[in-house]
Structure 1
Amino acid sequence: MDSYAAIVLAAGEGNRLRPLTRYRPKPMLPAGTKPILEHVFDALVDAGIDELVAVVGYRSTRVQSHFGPTYRNVPITYVSQEKQLGTGHALLAAESAVDGTCLVINGDQIVDTRIIRDTISGHEADASATLALLQRPSVEAYGGVILEDGHVTNIVENPHDDQDYVLNAGVYIIEPAVFDAVRASEPTAGEHHLVDGLSALVDTGETVNGVVSEGIWADATYPWDLLDVSFELFDAGIVDGDRPPADHRDSNVHPSAVIREPVVIDRDCVIGPGAVVGPYVCLGENATVGSNAVVEESVIDADTRLGANATAIECVTGIGVTIGAGSTVSGGPGDVRVRDRIFEDESLGALLADRAHDDGGVTYVPGSIVGPDVAVKPGTTVRGTIPEGTEVWS
């Protein structure tokens, strides 16, 4: 199998995941207990990629400070996309960092090694590009591809007709001609898109192939999707790379605490007496679960504190959150506002962004979104969306 440099597109914010992306880009949000982008890098290195080119932009220092110059002994070159003007624009920013055939992958979606290997193996010398594809019952939220005898005949973003589409998984092997095609394509709403360049190649009769894979693929578009992504990784047995979910080393778990697998507990966590953790819980580094607290089906990020007798079900937190003693996140379904749209009956108890904290005895109505640095006073009922830096009183 040939080895290529990989261009990893990791410059975007992920604004539909706000307020979690207020201080870090979507690729740095947690899947399990490590960033989505780290899962992507693992899959690439495991597939034999020997050079990583990361296109960074929004909050780029969060990416660079986390990974540094290498990952698992594979060198990383960072390329800056100062303005986020589409995937095609990001690709062109990395053009000078690669030579010849290369792999391109989205850095904000979980893609396993099998998909990458299938795409590399399926690339043929006469093809301008090869796309990784997946059979999915619905592709409307992503990109659809029409495939005939292994050749791509049409690429449609967010298709809503009844044609037989396969899902574009966001993994590509490309030849240099793709850079030229993207450069020549007309921007859409001021943005250049990689798929527009690929579509132009298809329309001019160039060979663009597709490889249907059965590997694991998951994406978090909205806050509650972070729960589903982590749960899917649990079910696949790869939630924390080579570290098994049952391994609680380097953490302090009281003998009377109950751990209901599957869970993943990162280093330096503290779980107090009588606490119940799991099933389907991710505890980030240095998280604390107080005595008799209950955490189920939740993604709890680093440095978060759950006080004594607190309950967190279907809860997503940012970094440094405090859920006070006796506070309750009872789980969904709930109606969630994302920007100007209401999503009904989503499985989200509450989302608390970085450094949000309550002083105990707080009740979170299902679907609550709490912004960064929000302070909630004792005994308050929280509902709806609470803007950044707000003080909430009962």
Structure 2
Amino acid sequence: MTIDTAVILAAGEGTRLRPLTTHRPKPMLPAGDIPILEHVLNSLVEAGISEIHLVVGYQRARVQNHFGSTYRNRPITYHIQHTQLGSGHALLQADETIETDFLVLNGDQIVTEEMIETVSSSHTATDTATLGVVESEKASQYGAVELNDNRITEFIEQPADDEYRLLNAGVYVFGPSIFAALERTFQEQGRLSLPETIRDLTTDESAVRGVVTESPWQDATYPWDLLSVMQTLFDQDRIGDETTEQSPGVFSDQTATIHEDATLRPPVIVSADTVVGPQAVLGPGVAVGENTTIGAGAVLTNVLVDSDTRVGQNATLIDTVLGQGVHLGPGVIIAGGPADIRIDTKVHEDCDLGGVIADRATVGGGVTVASGSLVGSAATIQSNAHIDGNIPNEAEVLR
């Protein structure tokens, strides 16, 4: 079936990605050189979608200001979820504007146009819903499904064990009748995730199709996942569309200034209006956002740097994520993972993360950052301090 309309769910906060989501929604976090959501939109356009609906909520101005009313000549209609009551409730916000079968995608997952096309073309007029499914050892961390003759027979959201291998990829096709089903579930429960309604449809013996695809799929659930997403996009050659490949695997914008004595080791991308100083070493695995300065002699390996950030001279950063407007003084050291990291009440072991420095944080010269540390938004770390663990937003750490 040909599908022309898509709804993207982009209203959530992404609490497990704090402190990076303090001032922006998860879909607007960087995936290489552009936000995650922009990759989703690019895949939709390449798959032939002509009408885009975006459900926004938390920090919605960040989405609307970035994309405006059109994207690559496709009109965008915005729907506001004023209170975050689940993904199914988010989809309900688009109810009165959708009259034909349509795609639904999560705005915080990297999917390919091939997956979108496969799911769309597999959907038939007799299907109540069609889901994209991928095989993954991480199925127990998300939503797992069981299939029988291409039909979803069971839907298990965040199962307790690792016996499941088929993962709900968050790419759906529905008919307009899904809205009535969502409304029924919401009235019964008061909150509503989309998988809950799909599970109800499978128990009602509705025609819910599962389509197993081998297309790459990537999700960012925790801060360190952003580095994995970046690497996946490098591997797929999906980074650097607006830049020039200066040498194999090395991309830079024409407005970037890269000193002739700097070294760029692929894969690397340097975005617009960025300056890279002499003897700086970038890569492998480095994406630098717009209007950023990398000081002389700085060494970055497996690092994601967002826009408007300053990295001081002779800094050493490994396995690191830097937010927007971060200022690192000279000689800062973030030595890399692995590390055990606490997110809310859970400790995640052996994570490949040196550290996260969130938006507008300032880290003075000579600071050392223990592996796995998370520095909150607008925090201030005085020169020569040592930090270890989670630093709250707007906190000040003295030497």
Task: Specify the TM-score bucket, using the shorter chain as the normaliser.
Answer: over 0.9
Q: Percent identity over the alignment?
A: 46
**1:11 equivalent in alignment to 2:16:** no
Gaps of 5+ in 2: none
- Which residue matches 1:302? 307
Per-residue CA distance 1:203-254 (angstroms, 9 max, x = gap): 1121111111111210111111111111111111112346455231220000
> 2:250 is matched with which residue: 246, 253, 260?
246
Shift in Å, 1:264: 1.2
**Preserved CA contact (<8 Å) 1:187 1:193:** no
Give the structure 2 partner of residue 342 of structure 1: 347
Q: 2:375 aligns with which of 370, 374, 382?
A: 370
Tell me the SS of whatever aligns to 1:23. coil
Q: Distance in 2 between matches of 1:369 and 1:90?
A: 30
Matches within 5 A, 1:210-359: 210-241=210-241, 243=243, 246-248=250-252, 249-359=254-364
Contact 1:178 1:198 in 2 (8 A): no
Q: Who is 1:388 aligned against?
A: 393
Structure-1 separation of matches of 2:352 and 2:270: 22
SS across alignment from 1:355: coil
One-letter identity of the residue aligned with 2:388 = R
Alpha-carbon distance change, 376 to 162 in structure 1, aligned in 2, over 3 angstroms:
closer
In the alignment, which residue of structure 2 is the partner of 1:35? 35
Q: Aligned equivalents of 1:102 and 1:335: distance in 2?
A: 42
Query: By how many angstroms is 1:31 displaced?
Result: 0.3
Q: Per the alignment, in what secondary structure is the counterpart of residue 140 of structure 2?
A: coil
Specify the code of the residue in structure 2 equivalent to 1:208: V
Q: 1:42 to 1:29 in 2, by over 3 A?
A: same
Matching residue's letter, 1:273: P
**In terms of mean alpha carbon deviation, does 180-189 or 116-125 score higher?**
180-189
CA–CA separation in structure 2 for the residues paired with 1:317 and 1:369: 10
Q: Report the CA distance between 1:164 and its aligned residue.
A: 4.9
CA shift in 2, pair 1:86/1:188, >3 Å? farther
Residue 131 in 1 paired to residue 114 in 2? no
C-alpha contact 1:324 1:361 (8 A) present in aligned 2 = yes
- What is the SS of the residue equivalent to 2:53? strand
Structure 1: how far apart are the matches of 2:296 and 2:80? 46
Structure 2 CA distance for aligned equivalents of residues 150 and 173 of structure 1: 15
In the alignment, the residues of structure 2 paired with residue 164 and residue 349 of structure 1 have an alpha-carbon distance, to the nearest angstrom, of 31
Q: Partners of 1:188 and 1:390 in 2: how far apart?
A: 43
Q: Which amino acid aligns with 2:397?
A: V
Q: Secondary structure at the match of 2:139?
A: coil
Q: Over residues 322-375 of structure 1, what are the superposed CA-to-partner deviations in whole Å (9 max), with x where a residue is unaligned? A: 111011111111221212222222111110001111220100010111011111
Q: State the Cα deviation string for residues 281-316 of structure 1 (Å, max 9, x = none).
A: 010001111001101101011011111111111110
Give the distance between the partners of 2:378 and 2:165, measured in 1 at CA.
Answer: 43
Pairing 1:18-97 to 2, within 5 Å after superposition: 18-97=18-97
Q: Secondary structure at the match of 2:62?
A: helix
CA shift in 2, pair 1:22/1:98, >3 Å: same
TM-score scaled by length of structure 2? 0.96
TM-score (norm 1): 0.97
- Residue range with higher mean Cα deviation, 237-246 or 273-282: 237-246
- Give the aligned length: 394
Greater mean deviation of Cα atoms: 15-24 or 89-98: 89-98
Distance 2:219 2:312 in 1: 31
Q: Which amino acid aligns with 1:345?
A: D
1:115 paired to 2:119: no
Deviations 1:152-195 (A, max 9, x none): 11111012356554110001010122111121126797421211
Q: Where does residue 204 of structure 2 map in the other structure? A: 204
> Shift of the alpha carbon at 1:124?
1.1
DSSP 3-state at the match of 1:234: helix
- Partner amino acid, structure 1, of 2:251: D
Secondary structure (helix, strand or coil) at the match of 1:221 reads coil
Partner SS for 1:247:
strand
Residue 377 of structure 1 and its aligned partner are, at CA, apart by 1.0
- Structure 1: runs of 5+ lacking an equivalent: none
Q: 3-state DSSP class of the match of 1:180?
A: helix
Instruction: Give the whole-Å Cα distance in 2 for the aligned partners of 1:300 and 1:188.
Output: 44
Please tell me the residue identity of whatever aligns with 1:272: G
